[in-house]
Structure formats: structure tokens, C-alpha cells
Amino acid sequence: MAKYSIIVPAYNEEKSLRLFYDAVTPLMESLQEEYEMIFVNDGSRDATKEILKGLAAEDKRVKVCSFSRNFGQQAALLCGLEMSSGDAVIAMDADLQDPPEVALEMIQKWKEGYDVVHGKRRKRKGETVFKKATAFLYYRFMRKITKMEMPKDVGDFKLYDRKVVDSILSMGEHDRLLRAQTTWVGFKQTFVEFDRPERVAGETHYTLKKMIKLAQSGIFPNTDYTLTFPLKLGLLFGFLSVACMVAFIVLSCCNIFYGGLVAWLFPTVGVFASIILVCQGFANIHTSMIYKEVQNRPKYIVAEKYNFE
Ligand code: UDP
Ligand code: MG
């Protein structure tokens, strides 16, 4: 018999929590298997903590972890993963935007042998055009720059097998975007589609500033393109500048164009700019290598082993 962990980050969710608990509990009970529901109170300023303590007192399967201040949804999810003990872990938002019945579909897929089941959003209600457009562009850009097959239109509503949780927890970086790490670790992944409803109560906590921070955490730990770019640009500049100088010399030898001091100014400046960019690029490669050491990701992840016992 399997054990499931539901992990729920909650920030100022006093109006949603009871509704969430009442919706998820009967569904999980219908499985007739063991489960725990871990709420992570992310430094809420409303009655979230008191409500969660009340739920924990009523039901021993409810576990609560309360942060000393607001650390953000990603930190709350990480805490949930660290505290979980289930064979499969399902991350859900507290506002019922992740429909509980879809979690059952995820469990079904897990039983079929998948290690990660993403919740893929078909329609998103109650979200501004700006949010939908930026999410659309961001994930496409992210796939290009990180060269990772990040699934599109997918958030943090997911099921993770225990081995995936352990792999993610073995990644040492501080600044993390869980959904990017989930792609990085690999394993057998699939998705279930759902229409994302509006929040059951309250309002989104994602301000533009928080969204930019999140976008940044997805890109920088997963690519060194930003660091190697100056070297590539420097080499290109250098090549173009030298080519321009050679062309000037050839043209002047053929008595076609002598070029004045002004004409020579451009390739000369180009060569110096290129030297600076190339030196910066070399320094950046060192920075990138140091970052990878600090990030301390596993060098590989073994999914299966045979005849090793
Ligand atoms: N959340 C959190 N810390 C934060 C912001 C959000 O724990 O700083 C939680 C929030 O309570 C919810 C989930 O993360 O359970 C998703 O947040 P929200 O609904 O505001 O995001 P949206 O669905 O609008 O993207
Ligand atoms: Mg929400």
C-alpha cells in the first residue's frame, strides 16, 4: 500500500484553507491508502496559521510547518518536499486552482509507472491577459535559452515519485525554480490536462516583482549562455573588425579606396572592444565554473540498476 503526501504552500489563505481541506480529504480517503497533508504557512499575516493549527488538532494526517516570515512559494514547496515521507508527493495550491480530482488522475498515472505527472493548463480563468501573455512568452524563451524540454503551460501542480523528490533535494543551489529542476532530473514524465478555475477566495500573491524574481530563478541556474555570450560577441566583433581592416588594405592596394583616419577608426575601436569582450568572456567562464561547483548538482542521476545487489 502506497503512502501519499500532499504539500500545500499557503500565504494569507485564511479564506481558502478550510475549503481546500474539505475538498481534498474525501477524495484522498476514497483511495483507502495512507496519506499526509503538509501545509507550509509562508509567513502569513492573516489567520492562516491559526486555521492550520485547528486543522492539525482535528486531523492527525494534517501536518503544519510555519515559516518565520514570507520566504516565497518556491521555498515553501521545497520545505514541503523535505518534510514529506510519501512514496508519491503531490504539490497543490491552497486556493483550489489545482482541482483535487485531477490529483487522483495523477495518482492513476503514477500507478501506471510514471515518475512525474505534470498538471497541464488547458484554459486559465481569472488571469489577466498580461499574465497569460508573459507566461506564454517566458516558457518559450526559457526552453530556447536553457535548451531544456520544459513542458509548456505547466505550473507547480505536479506529482513526484519519491526518487524524483530525492533527486531534486540533492540539487544544492539556493535560488531554485522547482519546475525547472523537475525537468533537469529527468525520469519518466507525463501530464494530465485540466481547465484552471479561478481562485476560490482571495487574490493572487504574484506581483510583477515576484514574477520577475521567479523568471530569473528559472533562467540563471539553468544556463550559462548569459555568461558565455560576451565571449561569442567579442570573437564576432574581432572577426568583423579584422575583416574590415583587410578589406581596407586590399582596396587601397587596388587604388579603389584609401579610407581616411575616420574610416579606420571603426575597425580599430572594434578590435579593442573585441579584446575587452573576450577577456570578460574568459572571466565569465571561470564564474560559470565556480557557480556550477557552488550549485553542487549531482553529476548524474541513476534511474535503475540491474545485477548490482
Ligand atoms: N504562496 C506562498 N508564498 C507566496 C506566494 C504564494 O506560499 O509568497 C502560495 C499561495 O498561498 C498559493 C500558491 O502559493 O497556495 C500559489 O499562489 P497564488 O495563488 O497567489 O499564485 P497564482 O495562482 O496567482 O499564480
Ligand atoms: Mg492561485
Which grid coordinates are listed for 21? 481541506
Nearest CA to ligand 1 atom 12: 93
pLDDT (0 to 100) of residue 79: 97
Distance from the CA of 93 to the center of ligand 1, in angstroms? Answer: 7
- Residue 127 reports pLDDT greater than 90: no
pLDDT averaged over every residue in the chain: 93
Which H or E run contains 240?
Answer: helix 225-253
- Could you give the CA distance from residue 26 to residue 104 in angstroms, rounded to a whole number? 11
Shared domain for 231 and 92, answered yes or no, is: no
Nearest CA among 46, 79, 78, 75 for reference residue 63: 79
Rounded CA separation 301/163 (Å): 10
- The CB-side HSE value for 259 (13 A sphere, CA atoms) comes to 19
Q: Which ligand is nearest to the CA of 16?
A: 1
Q: How far is the CA of 108 from the centre of ligand 2 (A)?
A: 24
User: Do 230 and 204 share a structural domain?
Assistant: no
Distance 158 CA to ligand 2 centre (A): 14
| 214 shares its domain with 247 | no
The finding on whether 42 has its CB within 6 A of some atom of ligand 1 is yes
Same domain, 283 and 190: no
CA 269 to CA 303: how far, in whole Å? 53
Show the cell assigned to 63.
501536518
Are both 177 and 100 inside the same structural domain?
yes
199 CA distance to ligand 2 centroid (A)? 6
HSE-up of 30 (CA within 13 Å, CB side)?
10
Percent of the chain scoring above 90 in pLDDT = 74
Which atom of ligand 1 lies nearest, measured to the CA of 206? 20
Asked whether residue 194 falls in the same domain as residue 286, the answer is no
Rounded Cα gap, residues 222 and 252, in angstroms:
49
Number of domains in the chain: 2
Q: Any alpha helices (H) in 7-161, and if so which ranges?
A: 17-30, 48-58, 73-83, 100-111, 129-146
H or E stretch at 287: helix 261-295
| CA 95 / ligand 2 centre spacing (Å) | 6
Q: DSSP H helical segments within 171-224, as ranges?
A: 178-185, 208-219
Lowest average pLDDT, out of 11-20, 52-61, 110-119, 197-206, goes to 197-206
Place of cell 490529483: 103
For residue 135, name the pLDDT band (cuts at 50, 70, 90): confident
- Judged against a pLDDT cut of 80, whether residue 126 lies above it is answered with no
Domain check: are 126 and 192 in the same one?
yes
Ligand with smallest separation from the Cα of 214 = 1
Rounded Cα–Cα distance for residues 177 and 180 (Å) = 5
Q: Which of 115-129, 161-175, 187-201, 291-305 has the lowest mean pLDDT?
A: 115-129
Q: Which residue range is the domain that position 239 belongs to?
A: 225-295
Q: How much is the average pLDDT of 75-86?
A: 97
Atom of ligand 1 nearest to the CA of 12: 11
191 pLDDT band, cuts 50/70/90, is very high
HSE-up (13 A, CA, CB side) for residue 141? 12
Q: How far is the CA of 223 from the centre of ligand 2 (A)?
A: 28
Closest ligand 1 atom to Cα of 9? 7
In this predicted structure, what is the pLDDT of residue 87? 97
Contact 106 CB / ligand 1 (< 6 Å): no
CB 27 within 8 A of CB 113: no
| 185 C-beta closer than 6 A to ligand 1 | no
Q: Which atom of ligand 1 is nearest to the CA of 40?
A: 7
Model pLDDT for residues 140-184, shown as the tens digit of each residue: 888 999 999 888 888 999 999 999 999 999 999 998 999 999 999
Q: Which residue has the cell 515559516?
A: 67
Domain co-membership, 142 together with 48 = yes
Q: Is 14 in the pocket of ligand 1 (CB under 6 A)?
A: no
Q: Look up residue 216 and give its three cell numbers.
A: 530569473
CATH code of 83's domain: 3.90.550.10
Do both 232 and 215 map to the same domain? no
Tell whether ligand 1 has an atom less than 6 A from the beta carbon of residue 70. Answer: yes
CB of 10 closer than 6 A to ligand 1?
yes
Quote the pTM value: 0.87
Question: Using one digit for the tens of pLDDT, what is the confidence trace for 89-117?
Answer: 999 999 999 999 999 999 999 999 999 99
One domain, residues 250 and 301: no
Q: Ligand 2 centre from 33 Cα, in Å?
A: 28
Q: Which of 21, 93, 200 to mutate to test the pocket of ligand 1 (most atoms within 8 A of CB)?
A: 93
Count of H-run helices and E-run strands, the chain: 10, 7
User: Are 81 and 205 found together in one domain?
Assistant: yes
Q: Kindly report, residue by residue over 212-246, the tens digit of the pLDDT.
A: 888 899 999 999 999 999 999 999 999 999 999 99
- Enter the DSSP assignment of 160: E
| 207/279 same-domain check | no
Give residue 285's pLDDT.
95
